Amino acid sequence: MTWKHVGLAKVHRLFYPQVAVVVTVEATGRVGAMPASWCIPLSFNPPFAGLAIASEHEIYKMIVEAQALGINWLDYSHAQQIGELGEISGSEYSNKLSAVELTTISSKTTSQPIIREPSAALECRLHHRVRFGTHELMVSEVIDAHAADHLCDYWDFSKYTPLLYAGTVDQQGKCWVFMSGRGTTARMPFKHQT
Amino acid sequence: MTWKHVGLAKVHRLFYPQVAVVVTVEATGRVGAMPASWCIPLSFNPPFAGLAIASEHEIYKMIVEAQALGINWLDYSHAQQIGELGEISGSEYSNKLSAVELTTISSKTTSQPIIREPSAALECRLHHRVRFGTHELMVSEVIDAHAADHLCDYWDFSKYTPLLYAGTVDQQGKCWVFMSGRGTTARMPFKHQT
């Protein structure tokens, strides 16, 4: 096999494809939401989830304010909405989710918004923050978890089609690339940014 | 949609499917290797990678000893080997990779082993460790990165078939479940554990 050097600025792309979750939060009367793929479990018991996020994002400040957040899994049928959600800025909308026609309900444990339409959702309390380079790792304790019927002990992938993020590629303009895990790929040109 | 409660012990399964990487290390004359899916980028610059791992694993102690590690991406054609690698114990083999017929070369920057056959590999130095619940987050700085020809600016998914971990399911015995991202699934019964 021929090997080649990969520039360090592109290292994160080796991790693709990654499931895109949607992080949700309410603070100071506004609802924030952002797709994220730098998100993994960090512990079984208590269940902790780690989310690495740049602190410049509006939603970062909102999570620090609320000390809580929701983590939501939307399936591949929502690719268009999730791409658009990744483009619009929290500073321009009092409710980013309604801007892409998603609705929320209030989490029982944290009073934070979770999406009404998802395949699964976690109610989380912020536990710890630690900075590494350009991003901050936000560690949350999962307080409660819900899922659609197509999760039993594991996801039933004959019913649940995951939304896998595979990057934003410059090819006749920027576009979101999502994979279904079933051999199909959605390429959606940016609507809001040039 | 009908929602149901998800037991907190199963929360990590909502994150499936996740690319399975192989972590490699050499310490005290032995070569350790383990598949891992709790692994994400944590920063663009410097490039940091985060790996959450239970400290009971032999490889955890070896990484602490070596203060360095390799992170390797093998494609879907290696599913059988990666499953087997996840079953055998580091305490029983002086070289776990050769036990599953994988070979290594030495990283130039860290002298740590990286796999000879992968689609991509990172040479990393251990930067920071922090405990969350049952696992420890090992944060590494990426010193150098290599990839096969089918990575340009992004993976060319027409050539690179990722290895996506989707759990171990009790169904006529335990088995590894890997997905290709192209609609195919490999279910492999455990060979070494009952």
Q: Which residues of B touch A117 (CB under 8 A)?
A: 1
Alpha-carbon distance A101 to nearest alpha carbon in chain B (angstroms): 17
Using CB atoms, pick whichever of A44, A142, A181 lies closest to residue B179: A181
Query: Mind listing the pLDDT tens digit for each residue in A73-111?
Result: 999 999 999 999 999 988 889 999 999 999 999 998 999
Backbone angles phi, psi at B186, to 5 degrees: -110, 125
Distance separating alpha carbons of residues A22 and A99, to the nearest angstrom:
14
Q: Return the bridge partners of A5, or none.
A: B146
Distance separating alpha carbons of residues B51 and A138, to the nearest angstrom:
15
Token representation of residue A70: 């929701």
Q: How confident is the model at residue A63 (pLDDT cuts 50, 70, 90)?
A: very high
CB atoms within 10 A of CB A121: 30
Task: For residue B9, give the 3-state DSSP assignment.
Answer: helix
Which of B2, B43, B51, B117 should one mutate to test binding to chain A, selecting the residue with the greatest count of A CBs within 10 A?
B43
Chain A: residue whose CA lies nearest to B121: A14
Distance separating alpha carbons of residues A113 and A89, to the nearest angstrom:
18
Backbone angles phi, psi at B172, to 5 degrees: 55, 50
Q: Please say if the pLDDT value at position A192 is more than 90.
A: no
For the four alpha carbons of A140, A145, A149 and A155, in that order, the dihedral sign comes to positive
Distance separating alpha carbons of residues A117 and A137, to the nearest angstrom:
27
Backbone angles phi, psi at A119, to 5 degrees: -80, -25
> Quick one: CA torsion of B59, B86, B145, A18, rounded to 10 degrees?
-120
Distance separating alpha carbons of residues A98 and B47, to the nearest angstrom:
35
Chain B: residue whose CA lies nearest to A145: B6
Q: What does each of the 194 residues of chain B score in pLDDT, given as a tens digit? A: 578 999 999 999 999 999 999 999 999 999 999 999 999 999 999 999 999 999 999 999 999 999 999 999 999 999 999 999 999 988 889 999 999 999 999 998 999 999 998 999 999 999 999 999 999 999 999 999 999 987 888 999 999 999 999 999 866 678 999 999 999 999 998 887 54
Do the chains contact at A155 and B14, CB–CB below 8 Å?
Answer: yes
User: Does residue B140 contact residue B109 with C-beta atoms inside 8 Å?
Assistant: no
Q: Is this complex's ipTM strictly greater than 0.85?
A: yes
What is the mean pLDDT of the segment spanning A11-36? 97
pLDDT the model gives residue A172: 65
In the DSSP assignment, the letter for residue B20 is P
Instruction: Read off the amino acid at residue A85.
Output: L
Distance separating alpha carbons of residues A180 and A178, to the nearest angstrom:
7
Distance separating alpha carbons of residues B123 and B115, to the nearest angstrom:
11
Task: Flag whether residue B152 sits within 8 Å of chain A, measured between CB atoms.
Answer: no
Do the chains contact at B117 and A1, CB–CB below 8 Å?
Answer: yes
Task: Flag whether residue B6 sits within 8 Å of chain A, measured between CB atoms.
Answer: yes
Q: How confident is the model at residue A3 (pLDDT cuts 50, 70, 90)?
A: confident
Instruction: Calculate ∠ Cα A167-A69-A80, nearest 5°.
Output: 35
